[in-house]
Structures are given as structure tokens and as C-alpha cells.
Structure 1
Amino acid sequence: MAGCNHGNITVGKPRWLRRSLPTGPEYEKMRQLLKRSHLTTVCQEAQCPNQFECYSEGTATFMILGDRCTRNCHFCAVEHKPLTLPDPEEPERVAEAVDILKLRYAVITSVTRDDLSDGGASLFAETIRAVRKRRPETLIEVLIPDLQGNWQALAAIVDAAPDVLNHNMETVPSLYPRVRPEAIYERSLALLSEGKKLNPQLPTKSGIMVGLGETRDELVRVWDDLLTAGCDILTLGQYLQPSKNHLPVERFVEPEEFAQLQDEALARGFAGVAAGPFVRSSYQAESLYRKVRRQLAG
């Protein structure tokens, strides 16, 4: 499952996971536009703790291909009800919203659609092209599912020329059966590697949740696997339990430890790293991209 897909349960949270949520005219403008346009954002669907901040800054992650997923990851707040057919008008609605809001950086993600032969890749490509046509100056990041290892579908997305290709590993291999049982660790790694082969200049990115029972050594091994696959950008954030029916938090990682993890990941070779309790896949995406772009250009 792609996206900022961990929730925001407040019971039992330590003090550093409690904060005031900003509001204001930019947030309200974004909320009303999404409602009028019948658009879905992963910010809302996955109960992301950063949605108020991002909306207030004029940033959003748009979720295409509907709001229901074919997989049943045990950390994810997105629903798994009966599916609907993809909406062919969705790319234009996303592009219109990006244009109206004058976004500098748009993130496009989706639910996982294993029922579609290309996993929804064609709609990703159409959405990228629609945004480019309406607002060519906007940077576009795509946060995609694993496409069931369909590299032809991946090529269609890469050929549409996003600015960042993102696919989340989510957790360490030993926890896949419990956390995301329908995913395959090696397939996710292969997607990032194949994306880099298709376009070596395309920054690739991945995200990992902590607090699910992983060890520090396991985290480092995932980092090394990602680096071997050519991954440029890493995000690390605290897993938060969306509901009592989802996996419980095994550990709350303190901000000081997140800072240490960020330093260690940078030292191992990532070009850009964001780590912190509130970090999610799309958090501070533009600043990370610009940092990595400068390094790749140099």
C-alpha cells in the first residue's frame, strides 16, 4: 500500500507526539476545493498527523484510483470495501486542483489495485501529463504500489517523467508477514532498482515506519538494501495505530533517537533523509527533492 498510511490514535502517546494542529485560510481553501472536486487525499484517508500543516502550507498528496484497496495491510487505515472502476476524469480533476492552488510540489499516490492489469500505472501517467499541461512548473512526486512486479507498467510511469519515484518498504523483512502479508520485500526492492535503471537521473525514494518491533540491525540492513537498489531519499517515521483493529505500537521512538537514525542513514550514503516522529512519505518532500537534485546535478 502506498501513501502516508499510519494513523493518529492519541491514547497513550508520549508528550513529543502531542502538538497543536494549525488551521487558517490556506487549510480551509484546500479542504473546500477537495470537497468540491470530489478528490481523495491520502492525508485524509490515512489520518496523517501532518495534514493540517501541509494544507496550511498549500501542499497535499492526492490519492488516485479510488479510496479502497485490494490488499489488507495490518497497519493501514485505508478501507478494503468493494472496488469501483478507475475514474477517467480523475487526472484532470487533480491537475485542476494543483493549478488552482498553485502548488509548487504535488505528490500523487494511490491505493493498491491488484485487480487492474497494470496496477493503475496508466492513470498515474495520465495524471502526471495532465498536471504538466496545466502547470508545467509544478514538481511531481509519485508514490506508487509495487505493481505486482509489472516492469512494463513501471516504465509507463517513468516515461511520463515524474520528478521523484517513491515506493515505500514500510518495515523490515522479518515483519512483512505480520505487517504487510500480501507484499514481497524483494519485489519492492526490485521496483526501486528497476526505476533507477529506466532513468538513472530520476531520484528514487522510500519510507520505513519504526515502532513495530524491528531491531536497529534490521533497519540498517534495509538501508543497505535500498542503497544497493539505488535509492536516493529515505524517510523514517513513527508508526501510529489507526484503530484498535490494527497492529499495536510496540515502541515509541524518542526524537533524539530519530536524530541519531537520520545522521546514521546519511552517513551510510543516502543523499537525503528525513527522520522524526511525525515524518511521513510526503513530509517536507520538496526540500528533500531539491537537496538531492543539487547533489545529483553536481
Structure 2
Amino acid sequence: MTEPLPASPAPRARKPDWIRVKAPTSATFQETRQLMRRLNLATVCEEAACPNIGECWTKKHATVMILGDTCTRACAFCNVKTGMPRAIDPLEPQHVADAAAELGLEHIVITSVDRDDLKDGGASQFVKVIEALRRSTPKTTIEILTPDFRNKHEAAVEAIVAARPDVYNHNLETVPRLYPTIRPGARYYASLRLLESVKRLDPSIFTKSGIMVGLGEERLEVHQVMDDMRSAGIDFLTMGQYLQPTPKHAKVADFVTPQSFAAYGAIARAKGFLLVAASPLTRSSYHAGEDFERMRAPRQAQLERVPA
């Protein structure tokens, strides 16, 4: 008897016109790519297959991913490879600083894979990168996008906050109901507490979080996530369309229209977020430098008015 052939993965949903982007071709894009290779740096732009890589790298904007390119978790939405990570590169902090200097960055975003294998989850490497940037390019503002530091977040967050990044980002990614299938290694309320801890430890640091839509969430669930974020003191919100990176990843439940994103954005602003970026192609670090610059002056004036 002939054995049945294994089922083929379901084809990915066809993207609507508003989600399509042109392939990167500019010379500046290639220069940015070569710089990352020369300094042995990974970027979330490449590893997570970001649709905005052409635009960002042409502008010499890149989100550097520290602690290697291999994650200890396997989230259903993420294209970063999973496995046993390599040892931490002691030269990585200075390489990040060198890249910021060569690119002439006014704002840099630093993220990482999850490193559950490390005692501090990799927090000390974030600190070293921040310190190297402060030494080499003191005028560059620093935004970090950290993992949740599962079971070790208090000490990890305290160490990073003490290094004083300008923006502390940690993404909730989706609504709590979908965590078991989309983000099984994480806990929704633990992520909220992490961001709440940042604001408690240093109110001058902007906090930021983002979610994806199109995974099967309900509109009122998204509104509740916004309320939870505001209760945790989160300043900035990003919302973008989930895109299935490979047939093995979670399927796209629906493509949210630009009009629906505009409605979500209006509701978020009404709820009190200082900055909202909501569109199909929005990602955590997309236009992050421009967004930060828009908010820095008003926040500084606000802090100066608060009595010591």
C-alpha cells in the first residue's frame, strides 16, 4: 500500500495592494548591508524579514539585533531562527557604536533575541551597548527593544534603566487570548509589569509597546490592550499588520484596512498615548527617530515644570 504524501503547508494569503513594497535596489541600501556584514552585526530588519528594510536602509536606518541571531524561543509569528545561541561576542558593544558613528545616526534602535539561557537574560549586554554608544556617539539618542527577561525581569530592568536609554520598548505583540498560540513562551501581564517597572524606576524614560493585528483578535480586545498599556504608563504605541513570514508560521486571519488602522489610531490618541503610529506597514522601529524627536522637546519642557 502506498504511503500518503505529507500534507503541504497551506499557501500564504495574497497581500492586498496597500501592503506591498518595492524590492530594495539603492546603492545606499547595499552600503548599509555591507557595513553590518563588516562589523559582524545582525539586524532585525533582515532576520525578521521586515517589509520596510528597503526604505530604512536607504536612509541609513537599521535596527541592530544584539546577543546573536538565534533565539531560545519559537514564537508563531517571528521569523528569527530558533536554537542554541552562540556565546556572547565581547566586541559587539563597540561594533554597534562603530556602526552608529559610520552611519551618522541621530537615533539608534537596539533589540535582541530572547536569551533564556543567560543568567540575566542578556541585560548586561544591553547596558554595555548603551555605555559604548554614550562614549562614541554621545549625541545619538538610544531606543532599546528588549525581551521580557522571563523570571528575571526586575534585576534586568533595574540594570538597563540605570544605564538610561532614551526610550524603553517592549512589545506586547497581541491580545492576551492569543498568547498560548502566538507567544507561548511569554506572559501578557508580566510584559505589562516590566514596562510599568521602567516608568516607576525612571519617569523621564519614554516607554513604548506595539501589537500586531490580523491574527484573529477582536476590535474590543485591541481597545482593552490599549487601556492596559495606559494603566501601565506606556507613552508610545505602534500597531501594524501581521504578515506570515513562511508557511510554517501562524496564518494571517485578515488584512486590516488602512481605514481601520486610522480608526484604531484615533482611539489610541483619545486614550492618552503621547505618540501613536498605526498603519499596515508600521513596525516597532519604523520612523522611530523622527517620532522620538517630535516628542522629546514637549516632554523635556513638561519635566522642567515638575517641582524637584
Same fold (TM over 0.5): yes
The answer as to 2:136 corresponding to 1:134 is yes
Distance 2:266 2:71 in 1: 35
Q: CA deviation at 1:22?
A: 4.5
Q: CA deviation at 1:270?
A: 0.3
Residue by residue over 1:58-114, the C-alpha shift from the partner in whole angstroms, topping out at 9 and shown as x without a partner, is 110000001111111111101112221111111011111111111111100000001
- Which residue matches 1:114? 116
**Alignment partner of 1:59 out of 53, 58, 61:** 61
Residue by residue over 1:232-279, the C-alpha shift from the partner in whole angstroms, topping out at 9 and shown as x without a partner, is 000000000010000000000111111111111011110000011110
Distance 1:43 1:155 in 2: 28
**Alignment partner of 2:182 out of 179, 183, 203:** 179
Q: CA deviation at 1:21?
A: 3.6
The answer as to 2:229 corresponding to 1:220 is no
SS at match of 2:270: helix
**Alignment partner of 2:70 out of 68, 71, 79:** 68
Distance 1:295 1:220, change over 3 A: farther
Distance 2:114 2:84 in 1: 13
- Which residue matches 2:167? 164
Counterpart residue type for residue 37 of structure 1: L
**Alignment partner of 1:292 out of 271, 290, 295:** 295
Does 41-50 or 80-89 show the bigger shift?
80-89
Residue by residue over 1:129-179, the C-alpha shift from the partner in whole angstroms, topping out at 9 and shown as x without a partner, is 101111111111000001114211111111111110000000000000010
- Which residue matches 2:30? 28
- Which residue matches 2:261? 258
- Which residue matches 1:44? 46
Q: Please say which structure displays the higher CA radius of gyration.
A: 2
TM-score in terms of structure 2 length = 0.92
SS at match of 1:240: coil
Q: CA deviation at 1:10?
A: 7.5
**Alignment partner of 1:123 out of 100, 125, 129:** 125
8 Å contact from structure 1 (residues 192, 229) kept in 2: yes
Counterpart residue type for residue 100 of structure 2: V
- Give unmatched runs, 5+ long, in structure 1: 1-8
CA RMSD of aligned residues (A): 1.3
8 Å contact from structure 2 (residues 109, 143) kept in 1: yes
**Alignment partner of 1:192 out of 192, 195, 213:** 195
SS at match of 1:147: coil
8 Å contact from structure 1 (residues 233, 292) kept in 2: no
**Alignment partner of 1:210 out of 213, 231, 234:** 213
Q: Which has the higher contact order (CA 8 A, sep 6+)?
A: 1
- Which residue matches 2:154? 151
- Give unmatched runs, 5+ long, in structure 2: 1-10, 303-308
Identity among equivalent pairs (%): 50
**Alignment partner of 2:245 out of 242, 248, 272:** 242
Counterpart residue type for residue 51 of structure 2: P
Distance 1:128 1:259 in 2: 35
8 Å contact from structure 1 (residues 140, 162) kept in 2: yes
Superposition misfits of 4+ residues, deviation over 6 angstroms: none
- Which residue matches 1:90? 92
Q: CA deviation at 1:214?
A: 0.4
Distance 1:188 1:295 in 2: 27
8 Å contact from structure 2 (residues 13, 252) kept in 1: no
Q: CA deviation at 1:287?
A: 2.0
TM-score in terms of structure 1 length = 0.95
Distance 1:63 1:31 in 2: 14
